[in-house]
A and B are shown apart, each in its own frame.
Chain A
Amino acid sequence: MVGVGFGVVLKYQITGGTTGQTPGLWPAKTSVSLDAKRDTLILFAHPRCPCTRATFEELNRILAQCQGRVAAQVWFFKPSGLSGWSDSSLRWDAAGIPGVTVKDDIDGQQAGLFGAETSGFVLLYNPEGKLLFKGGITGSRGHAGDNAGESSIVSLLSGKPALFVQTPVYGCSLTGECKAPAESKSK
């Protein structure tokens, strides 16, 4: 029974979320700004996803290693018409990372443009708008630590080739039904 339990937990831990169609070139309709001088890193996050906290830790490590070489933006999924939705500890964590710009993604419109369906989905574009990397920057669900996504981005930002240009992403779904949850309505 214990073995089965650990098996279920492990499976849950290593099973990645879904990803949509990500454009290879910077989409024209997006309101996300592309940095003209540096690479642009975009992270789509669910403000209440517990697993995304590990992603922010990894983001923090990437930015610490590649200070000034990338423009980082975190877009939090925000359903329209729900007050206080984005007011979460995750948002504060993200805002606390030096060099990170935090923005709200109303009803996941921007995520949809970039094919982001799972919280923790990271995209790296060069100043010309070419997609360099897409995927998660944690090794498994909610687990911080060395992983393929993080090391690939660091390599790319260091001007080196990446071992992986795509990695699995672990987090809550961004594409769920956009209706107010019971606790949100009460607020």
Chain B
Amino acid sequence: MQSPCGIQIQMKNTISIPNEVLGEKVAARAKELFCEQLQNIITHTDKIFARLMIFQWLFGIFLSIWVSPRTWSGTQSQIHLHVWAAIFLGGAVTILPVLLAHFQPGKAMTRHVIAVGQMLMSALLIHLTGGRIETHFHVFGSLAILAFYRDWKVMISATAVVYVDHLVRGIFWPQSVYGVVSASIWRSFEHAGWVVFEVFFLLLSIRKSHSEMHLVAERQAKLEFVNEEIEQIVAQRTSDLRRETADRQQAEERLRQSQKMEAMGRLAGGVAHDFNNLLTVIGGYCSLSMPSLPPDSTLQRNIGEIHKAAERARALTGQLLAFSRKQVLQPRVLDLKDVVNGMEKMLRRLIGEDVELSTSFEPSIGNVKADPGQIEQVIMNLAVNARDAMPRGGKLTISTSNTVIDQKSQFRNRTLEVGQYVVIAVSDNGIGMTDEVKSHLFEPFFTTKGLGKGTGLGLATCYGIVCQSGGDIRVYSELNSGTTFKIYLPRTDAKLDQTDTTRMGRLPRGRESILLVEDESAVRALAALILREQGYAVKEACNAFEALALVRKTPFDLVLTDVIMPGMSGKALCDQIKDQLPKTKVLLMSGYTDDALAHHGVLDEGLWFLEKPFSPAQLTRKVREILDVPVEKYNGSATVALMAS
């Protein structure tokens, strides 16, 4: 077959790779390598001949000057014709091959011209040496060197020159080659035969050489493919390793964050439990005391201040639980547009006159399922931050829109799953944030505000609430241009839950029997006082065991119990009551439940819950609400009542 490099070659099908496609690739690559190698050899041989022919030319000149410098006629002489022949004829024979070898190495034309030139040079040298038999070895030597090309066509060209030279001489001047005056033309075959004899073995050598080159090329091709395969495996393994390392680092980061949050949560929960009990008592007694004092009295104002402080403390405790995601969410189906609209008045007061508030709502905004109070808390925190980012005034824009996440997206180690979301965007044109600030933005106690101006819990709280609601919060900020927070909450097709609007007015009263279970005596005393004042028959128990004993003796319309208690928890008490007295309603109350009532912060179905600290109004309304639930609906639709609360 004809190779791409123009050399006649024989391809041996010795590839033994099982995969046919791979085998073909190896064969193709082997062929490529073979041609490449052959071409290198040819180019190299061209260079060898370029040097050799120049040397031969100079040698011919030297030889002619040495052997026959001058020709004589008597005592007169002139330069011998051989000297001129060596210079000019030798030059003519040499120049073209040398130029081709220099400017067009590797071309077929070049090596054929070299072959012809080399054989002509042999003829010239033989002539210059007076036809010495020894000089005829130049022909055989030249043929051997021409075999370096490993191209049988070149050998044929050279042989043809030798044969034609002998044939022409044999015909026109037989004595110059055969030593006789007349000779048969067949004698030219005799002379050429010796050349052919050598060329035959050189051709065998060329063929053998091709075969070996094929083997080497095939081995190299196989080696290359094996190397390539190994490199791919190494690259794949390296990539896997990097990904695994990155995954591990992310997992470690998540674990660290989780451990941090867990630690913070435990701390917050521990503080919140005791603190909320205290705040319940403080706030409760303030609420009870204030109505009985003259409106303008100093004591009224003082108690009012105590009450405000208690409320702030309550908010702070709430934030601690929120960012550590330990609060109990009571989600319901919401329209975020209604939530924002409901907050607008309050927000305008909050941000001040220098900041313009603008709202924008997509018309067919979807519903979300979230705790409305917590979402309000998020919007409020973001609005406060926006206000602080615009000390000289600016524009605060709150907008809601629908969006679809069509591929998983990750931010701060949180992955937002594919699906439909409702987005609340809170934007300002304030001072913006640096990348450094952005990287720590949602960490608890990180603040850029001055001492006493920020707790560093606002955004951490927002983040905790949104994450606990199954969403994500993302921030886009440019220094000196502004900031946008986008809150993604999963969209739901569920219908809006109705809001109980009968909350205002006097505290609801009743005459039902209530068992109050609370280990903290101050809280117990306060709750009992509030309920008794509203007409309820209250019995007190300081732990769950005592409560169980009382319940077994006397039926109660409602059991109001704390959750975290020594010995037996409120939840365990609730379960036992439900088992033994299924018609007895149970209301749980707590400032921190430690997941006793909730999974992932969302209250378990079938439970009623009152969050501490509570006000007298909150307590009495919650109690009344539950007592008003028909007994036949109890256990079945309790959750619905709870959700509406």
Residues of A within 8 A of B (CB): 1-2, 5-6, 8-10, 12-14, 46, 48-51, 53-54, 77, 79, 82, 85, 108, 119, 139-140, 142-148, 151, 163-164, 172-181, 184
Contact = CB atoms under 8 A, between A and B. Distances in A.
A137 B89 CA distance: 28
Contact of A5 (B88, B131, B179): B88
A60 B68 CA distance: 20
Interface string B56-75: 00000000000111111111
Given A2-B120, A5-B88, A10-B173, A144 B132 contact: yes
Contacts of A181: 75-77
B144 interface: no
A164 to B, nearest CB: 7
Interface in B111-136: 120, 123-124, 127, 130-133
Nearest to B88: A5
Contacts of B72: 46, 48-49, 119, 172-173, 176
A179 B75 contact: yes
B111 to A, nearest CB: 18
A148 B75 contact: no
A56 to B, nearest CB: 11
The SS class assigned to the A binding surface is loop
Given A50-B68, A51-B68, A177-B75, A139 B93 contact: no
A148 B175 contact: yes
A142 B68 contact: yes
A5 B132 CA distance: 21
A184 B476 CA distance: 109
11 contacts: A6-B124, A9-B124, A14-B176, A48-B72, A50-B69, A145-B133, A148-B180, A172-B72, A176-B76, A177-B74, A181-B76
A115 to B, nearest CB: 16
Given A2-B92, A49-B71, 14 more contacts: A5-B88, A10-B173, A14-B173, A50-B82, A108-B74, A140-B173, A142-B130, A151-B179, A172-B72, A172-B73, A173-B72, A176-B73, A177-B74, A177-B75
A79 B75 contact: yes
Nearest to A77: B74
A98 B64 CA distance: 29
B127 A13 contact: yes
Contact of B89 (A6, A49, A173, A184): A6
A184 B120 CA distance: 37
B80 interface: yes
Nearest to B126: A143
A143 B67 CA distance: 12
Contacts of A178: 74-75
B172 to A, nearest CB: 8
A97 B86 CA distance: 31
B315 interface: no
Interface string B171-193: 00101101111000000000000
A13 B75 contact: no
Closest 4 CB pairs of A and B: A176-B74, A146-B179, A176-B73, A50-B68
A120 to B, nearest CB: 12
A5 B121 CA distance: 12
Contacts of B71: 49-50, 172
Contact of B179 (A10, A139, A173, A177): A139
Interface residues of B, number: 35
A6 B71 CA distance: 19
B81 interface: yes
A151 to B, nearest CB: 8
B85 interface: yes
B74 A175 contact: yes
Nearest to A163: B181
A81 B181 CA distance: 42
B74 A139 contact: no
A147 B175 contact: yes
B93 A2 contact: yes
Contacts of A79: 74-75
Interface in B76-109: 76-77, 80-82, 85, 88-89, 92-93
Given A2-B89, A179-B75, A144 B81 contact: no
Contacts of A77: 74
A18 B68 CA distance: 20
Contacts of A139: 131, 175-176, 179
A49 B76 CA distance: 11
Nearest to B64: A50
Nearest to A175: B74
A152 to B, nearest CB: 10
Interface centre among B72, B82, B133 (most CB of A within 10 A): B72
Contacts of A12: 81
A9 B175 contact: no
A174 B130 contact: no
B176 A143 contact: yes
A140 B180 CA distance: 11
A79 B73 CA distance: 12
Interface string B153-187: 00000000000000001000101101111000000
A180 to B, nearest CB: 6
Nearest to B81: A12
Given A82-B75, A148-B175, A178-B75, A48 B70 contact: yes
Nearest to A5: B89
Contacts of B131: 54, 139-140, 142-145
Contact of B180 (A10, A46, A119, A146): A146
B85 A9 contact: yes
